[in-house]
Structure 1
Amino acid sequence: MTAEQLVAKYTQGEAKSLSSQQAETDPSPLAIIGPDVQGQEELFTPGALALLTALSENFAGEVTELLAKRSQKQARIDKGELPDFLPETRAIRDGQWSIRGIPADLTDRRVEITGPVDRKMIINALNAKVKVFMADFEDSLAPSWQKVIEGQINLRDAVRGDISFTAPDTGKQYSLDPDPAVLICRVRGLHLKEKHVEYQSNAIPGALFDFALYFYHNYHQLLAKGSGPYFYLPKLESHLEARWWAKVFAFVEDRFCLKPGTIKCTCLIETLPAVFEMDEILYELRSNIVALNCGRWDYIFSYIKTLKNHADKVLPDRQAVTMDTKFLSAYSRLLIKTCHKRDALAMGGMAAFIPAKDEATNAQVLQKVRGDKELEARNGHDGTWVAHPGLADTAMEIFNRYIGPGETNQLHITRDVDAPISASELLSPCDGERTETGMRLNIRIAVQYIEAWIQGNGCVPIYGLMEDAATAEISRTSIWQWIKHGKSLSNGKLVTKELFNSMLKEELVTVKQELGSERFNSGQFAKAAELFTSITTADELVDFLTLPGYELLTA
């Protein structure tokens, strides 16, 4: 299937989906159709398969309905409606209630590190000077079957404390320190499927696959260690999706005779629709949830995607969209106020910088990180994210200072003196230029990230930043938005499909010069450029580049 055909598939809604109406006479409706990966037989035990089958039977079909509701809401916004707080749930927002509670090992989350589930990364992240490691099956992982299976094996070994790794090139040994960080597993978003596992001949939601295997193989050991099965839930768009997860958690807790609320989760507020339903999301998941998180990069992407037809909501260069802009500041402050009112933690966003080897450059990097983390801590966030262990000390020093000795978080900061945050504040675009330099940088970032992703690498260092799918999404949707609304760059050039195609050709030459001919020619840049062009110049915006990209992944 060509890139254009893939894009057509994901703009016309033709992707094959599960249907609760379909039924098979096969007594074993769950089928593993992926190629054999070493060690997978240890994962696909009868108990694990029974759980996966039960979850697919009871909950997979509803995902199709939830995604349909997303599409219906987006259609209304495309026609002129703007997102807003829901009048029908005002009683929940105004009510006096709190979440069930926070386990002891999750009360202090002042610095978290995130990254994919490869073996070396897991060891280094758990050993980093942080409180929590979020092991990621989502935006920083290109979910080839092999990487997904190996990731589950790696996490199982980490939970059991017997994970180790030997670098094949240097022979360096890696093993866990005695007191590793708390482990949280981020599952895939509801829009992503796991095509290598079918229920009633349909691919199951990747989120169910990730959740079921991680829970089944690790819950007992985690609880025995005084921790628990903890999850990050990405890209929720409504409280109805939170309600679905609450039902999944309750089902599993009952099935394994666990106390209600044993499973704990943190929800990322990284879509524009979700920011208007934070109280409701906390309420639906009140038995299991402990925190919300400002997933800022995906949030910027979602702002563009959700308001794509609104010509007055066009954003400038990505570099100009910082957390001190009006709509992002409102988002952060509202999340803190909402969480702390309900006794939930409010997590800040990602510092995606990578420490530089040059001392002067590294000083600039650390100064940028300090400014970002100072803003979050001052606002009242209880913790923050870093992408590299080399940034942990900087972030930790700042949050230590704001949280203070003897304390574990900033739940006491209520922000009650703040004026109510309105929908108009959350929807107000920021000022800034659309520059040719910014557009060309977007092109170079996106094409390099897509090339890495379709080769199986979802976490890529590019120009001093650790990029994942979210930043590539911003890069390509910004250009799409500028084309759609006939915007001009600051030098007067009209942004058109033709201009994009011309710049892409030129920037591919630049990338080849930067990487070297051998790396460029041995890579997948032609395929990446084809996909990038198709999703950026399509008349209808493709919801996620990972949807057509997933079908280009090798098994």
Structure 2
Amino acid sequence: MAESGAQHHGIRILGPEQPGSERILCSDALLLLAELTRRFRARRNELMTLRAQRQLKIDAGAMPGFLPETADIRKKEWQILGIPSDLQDRRVEITGPVERKMVINALNADVKVFMADFEDSLAPAWDKVVQGQVNLADAVRGEIDFVHPDSGKAYTLREDPAVLICRVRGLHLDESHLELDGEPIPGALVDFALYFFHNHEALLAKGSGPYFYIPKLQSHLEARWWAEVFAFAEERYALQPGTIKVTCLIETLPAVFEMDEILYELRNNIVGLNCGRWDYIFSYIKTLRNHPDRVLPDRQAVTMDKPFLNAYSRLLIKTCHKRGALAMGGMAAFIPAKDPEQQALVLQKVTKDKELEAHNGHDGTWIAHPGLAETAMAVMDRYLGDRPNQLHVTREEDPPITAEELLEPCEGQATEAGMRANIRIAVQYMEAWISGNGCVPIYGLMEDAATAEISRASIWQWIRHGTVLDNGKLVTKALFEQMLTEELAVVRGEVGAQRYDQGRFDEAANLFRSLTCAEQLTDFLTLPGYEILTESTRMDNRT
């Protein structure tokens, strides 16, 4: 049934058969997916049109802000339904792709939660999508293990692993390997339906539940869409309303003005919001792309202590805690260094970052590597003590945070060194992504799609608005082309000629060039990247 070309309940499977696909793409799972798609795909498409229409207004000079038509929701007293016991304490969460070894190591780490990611840290090649669902189903049942094919090292799950939360793809992404009525199925529905169908009973039986992270929301109308999806699934399987629990990432500039409304729309299901800082910085660039007074400096200079980002963090905390919801902090993208001096510097930076979040009142924080768990946990323990969270930190004494604060220009310099670093990072990440790897250590940081988005969007913005670098050079397409050629040579030297020549660096450079030199800023690099990724799958299938 699960082989390529098979049809069930109107769904055509276009991807090649994978190990475990018969189990994951079983008839009943596809029936749920078909029902969800028929009911919710058209509205998803309308919501994408509404996104584009809102962006056109901002491009024409309007600025995002709090919605006058939903002022009553912001003023009224109301609370979310509640937070399950195993989600009350989320002081440190680790994130990573749904690859088998990663799933085991993350669940075994000294953290409270593992966010298993089908989104920014996974390049959604067909085999990764199917195998990722197999891995999570095995993990939920405590049956996951892995033996490294080279070293022979065995990995197994500890007795009391971290709580599992599944992050689905954003609403803008389709799954091209599954079609219904001749159209691709939204990737978000694929990830949600398959994880929910296969795991909700086993999760509830062991005292947990079907928990999700929702990325890249841009409005409360999109939150309402998700609320309707959850309500349908709960009713379909005779579950108590509110059984599905969700945390939403606030990682787009439009969404920061609708946090109360997002919590309200999802009040039966939501347990918290999260500061998705890297995507938020990218969204600031993308949303305000036509506004020359909002050009950001080097990515390295845009830190959480900058006024517009600190206001975002504080507003999220105040909004969440007023409604009884958790306010999760952002990602420390650092990875441990082998050199002792470098490692000390890494831990110092992580400590400073986490102290700012904990001091502001966040209930938990993110790391990308198990080696940072002890450091992050020590900071959060100092602030939380015996409390599971910081819901008592209301920030009621804060003056109201205004739209002007959230949109405030960011001080700092665009530099040649920063531009060259952006080029090297973006090329290496895109090369990995189109090769099927969405989570890549580069220069001491765990890069995912969000950080690569900042790298390429910054240069586009600098070209668009005639930014002058610290050495007096004007950023133009010609300067970018020159630097791209030079930095490709640097990358070749760093990774080695053999790795470079056997890799897909030229394809990545062409993708990077097309995105950076385009007249219009492309919404997401993963959209053209996915076309390259799926073409590889089609070629493999033909072979």
Aligned residue for 1:19?
none
Whether 2:499 is the aligned partner of 1:515: answer no
Give distance in 1, aligned partners of 2:348 and 2:361: 20
Q: Deviations over 1:240-263 (max 9, x none)?
A: 000000000000000000000000
Which of 257, 260, 264 is the equivalent residue of 1:276?
257
Deviation at 1:29, TM superposition (A): 2.4
Unmatched tracts of structure 2, length 5 or more: 1-6, 538-543
Q: For 1:101, what is the secondary structure of its paired residue?
A: coil
Aligned residue for 1:148?
129
Whether 2:213 is the aligned partner of 1:197: answer no
Q: Give 1:106's aligned amino acid.
A: L
Q: For 1:331, what is the secondary structure of its paired residue?
A: helix
Whether 2:87 is the aligned partner of 1:125: answer no
Deviation at 1:200, TM superposition (A): 0.7
Give distance in 1, aligned partners of 2:236 and 2:119: 26
Q: Give 2:325's aligned amino acid.
A: A
Structure 1 residue runs of 4 or more that deviate by more than 3 Å after TM superposition? none
Q: Deviations over 1:492-529 (max 9, x none)?
A: 10000000000000000000011110111100000000
Structure 2 counterparts to residues 270-419 of structure 1, below 5 A: 270-405=251-386, 407-419=387-399
Contact 1:60 1:204 in 2 (8 A): yes
Aligned residue for 1:175?
156
* Identity across matched positions, percent: 70
Whether 2:237 is the aligned partner of 1:256: answer yes
Which of 44, 61, 71 is the equivalent residue of 2:25?
44
Q: Give 1:149's aligned amino acid.
A: V
Q: For 1:529, what is the secondary structure of its paired residue?
A: helix
Give distance in 2, aligned partners of 1:30 and 1:516: 44
Deviation at 1:31, TM superposition (A): 1.3
Give distance in 2, aligned partners of 1:192 and 1:70: 14
Whether 2:59 is the aligned partner of 1:78: answer yes
Give distance in 2, aligned partners of 1:525 and 1:44: 34
Which of 86, 93, 107 is the equivalent residue of 1:105?
86
Q: For 1:228, what is the secondary structure of its paired residue?
A: coil
Aligned residue for 1:138?
119
Q: Give 2:95's aligned amino acid.
A: T
Deviation at 1:47, TM superposition (A): 1.1
Deviation at 1:550, TM superposition (A): 0.1
Q: For 2:79, what is the secondary structure of its paired residue?
A: coil
Q: Give 2:234's aligned amino acid.
A: E
Contact 1:296 1:349 in 2 (8 A): yes
Whether 2:220 is the aligned partner of 1:239: answer yes
Q: Give 2:288's aligned amino acid.
A: L
Give distance in 1, aligned partners of 2:488 and 2:28: 49
Aligned residue for 2:4?
none
Q: Give 1:467's aligned amino acid.
A: E
Contact 1:43 1:213 in 2 (8 A): yes
Q: For 2:344, what is the secondary structure of its paired residue?
A: helix
Contact 2:9 2:31 in 1 (8 A): no
Q: CA, structure 1 residues 473+27, in 2 after alignment: closer, same or farther (shift >3 Å)? A: closer
Contact 1:383 1:409 in 2 (8 A): yes
Aligned residue for 2:541?
none
Aligned residue for 1:540?
520
Aligned residue for 2:505?
525
Give distance in 2, aligned partners of 1:198 and 1:280: 33
Give distance in 2, aligned partners of 1:46 and 1:455: 31
Q: Deviations over 1:253-296 (max 9, x none)?
A: 00000000000000000000000000000000000000000000
Give distance in 2, aligned partners of 1:218 and 1:206: 18
Give distance in 2, aligned partners of 1:169 and 1:29: 42
Contact 1:29 1:201 in 2 (8 A): no
Give distance in 2, aligned partners of 1:27 and 1:169: 39
Contact 1:334 1:421 in 2 (8 A): yes
Give distance in 2, aligned partners of 1:37 and 1:77: 44
Deviation at 1:404, TM superposition (A): 1.4
Q: Give 1:475's aligned amino acid.
A: S
Q: Give 2:348's aligned amino acid.
A: Q
Give distance in 2, aligned partners of 1:404 and 1:122: 28
Give distance in 1, aligned partners of 2:129 and 2:270: 25
Which of 413, 419, 438 is the equivalent residue of 1:458?
438
TM value normalised by structure 1:
0.95
Whether 2:532 is the aligned partner of 1:552: answer yes
Unmatched tracts of structure 1, length 5 or more: 1-25
Q: For 1:552, what is the secondary structure of its paired residue?
A: helix
Q: Give 2:125's aligned amino acid.
A: S
Which of 478, 483, 500 is the equivalent residue of 2:480?
500
* Residue-pair matches, total: 529
Contact 1:140 1:469 in 2 (8 A): yes
Deviation at 1:430, TM superposition (A): 1.1
Q: For 2:532, what is the secondary structure of its paired residue?
A: coil
Aligned residue for 1:424?
404
Aligned residue for 2:140?
159
Q: CA, structure 1 residues 431+36, in 2 after alignment: closer, same or farther (shift >3 Å)? A: same
Aligned residue for 2:197?
216
Q: For 1:259, what is the secondary structure of its paired residue?
A: coil
Backbone CA RMSD of aligned residues: 0.8
Contact 2:227 2:266 in 1 (8 A): yes
Give distance in 1, aligned partners of 2:23 and 2:110: 32
Q: For 1:190, what is the secondary structure of its paired residue?
A: coil
Aligned residue for 1:9?
none
Whether 2:44 is the aligned partner of 1:63: answer yes
Aligned residue for 1:448?
428
Q: For 2:177, what is the secondary structure of its paired residue?
A: strand
Give distance in 2, aligned partners of 1:90 and 1:62: 25
Give distance in 1, aligned partners of 2:179 and 2:76: 42
Give distance in 1, aligned partners of 2:179 and 2:480: 39
Deviation at 1:147, TM superposition (A): 0.4
Deviation at 1:27, TM superposition (A): 9.2
Aligned residue for 2:207?
226
Give distance in 2, aligned partners of 1:280 and 1:511: 45
Aligned residue for 2:417?
437
Deviation at 1:83, TM superposition (A): 0.2
Q: For 1:402, what is the secondary structure of its paired residue?
A: helix
Give distance in 2, aligned partners of 1:422 and 1:89: 16
Aligned residue for 1:471?
451
Q: For 1:551, what is the secondary structure of its paired residue?
A: helix
Deviation at 1:38, TM superposition (A): 1.4
Deviation at 1:461, TM superposition (A): 0.1
Give distance in 1, aligned partners of 2:358 and 2:531: 41
Q: Give 2:430's aligned amino acid.
A: I
Give distance in 2, aligned partners of 1:289 and 1:343: 10
Q: Give 2:258's aligned amino acid.
A: E
Contact 1:126 1:181 in 2 (8 A): yes
Q: Give 2:235's aligned amino acid.
A: D
